[in-house]
Each structure stands twice: as C-alpha cells, then as structure tokens.
Amino acid sequence: MRSIVWIHADCLRRDCAAFREYPAVPALFVWDDVVLRGYGLSLKRMVFLYECLLDLDVAIYRGDVATEVRAFAVLHAATTIVTMGTPAPRCATIVADLRTTHTVEVLADEPFAEVPDGVDIKRFSRFWGSIRPQVVRQPLQRGLFDER
C-alpha cells in the first residue's frame, strides 16, 4: 500500500504525527482556492503559513484541494492519503470527498488545547481568545523591589 501525506494549515510542523509515522512518504500542501477567495486571509497570515511550509519537505500546490491531492496520489501511485485530524469543517468536507476515490487515514494528534464547542474557528482571534487561558501562563506579579 503506497501512501502520500496531505498537510493542511492545522499541521504545519515537522513533529506532527503524519511526518513521524510516514517519514519517507511524499507530502504536499495545497493553497485552497476556496479559502483564498472567501476566508479573508491577510497577507501577513499567508506569509506566516508560507514560511512554515518552507521548513517542511512538502510540495506546494494551489487549486481545488481534493483535485490536487488526488493528482499527487496518482503521480506517486498511492492508494492511501494520510492527513491530520482538525476541527476545521472545510478539511472534513475535503476528506469526505477524497474518500470517494482513496483510502484516507486521519491521524489524531495531541491537542494543543481543548476547543470549546461553538467557537468560531474561522477567526483566529476568537479561537485564540477561547483557548488562551489554557496555553499562556499569566506572569507573576512582582513587587518594585523584588529580585528579578
């Protein structure tokens, strides 16, 4: 069984389970035309994502994600597409589409934080506001004459 790894924006790091479990498998990222047109990503956010991608050994494409992932799988004679789980509804739609033609293995990763139900994950500031208390420690309050 030959595999490829599809990396999306919620797993842009070398230590994600897909890279750990499939270290020698061809991998790709697809700039999603739907997201680029309709999600209002700032240039700053896109540059951040691109810089993260440059640290990974992935092919970078742009277009319809399912179409590009399928073409990459065909190029590498892969029958299985490996990706990471995410709460993003767009990724769930793409995974369902890919499952019509390929076996898709969705790997779980240790969660960064527990995301409360109903959080608007399309807006990073709302998402971050809901999880910030779990991941950022409040600085200790020091008196004026305390040693530092």
Q: What is the pLDDT of residues 67-116, one digit of tens each?
A: 999 999 999 999 999 999 988 888 999 999 999 999 999 999 776 667 77
Distance CA 68, CA 64 (A): 6
Q: What is the pLDDT of residue 122?
A: 66
- Tokens representing 139? 């600085």
Q: Residues 40-63: what's their mean pLDDT?
A: 91
CATH number for the domain running over 3-110: 3.40.50.620
Q: What is the pLDDT of residue 46?
A: 87
pLDDT at 134 over 80: no
Distance CA 65, CA 94 (A): 7
Measuring CA to CA, which residue among 62, 77, 83, 79 is closest to residue 7? 83
Using pLDDT thresholds of 50, 70 and 90, give the confidence band for residue 124.
low
Give 23 or 37, the one with higher predicted confidence.
23
Percentage of the chain modeled with pLDDT above 90: 52
Domain span(s) for CATH 3.40.50.620 in the chain: 3-110
pLDDT at 147 over 90: no
Q: What is the pLDDT of residue 89?
A: 85
Q: What is the pLDDT of residue 50?
A: 93
Give 127 or 56, the one with higher predicted confidence.
56
Q: Residues 13-21: what's their mean pLDDT?
A: 92
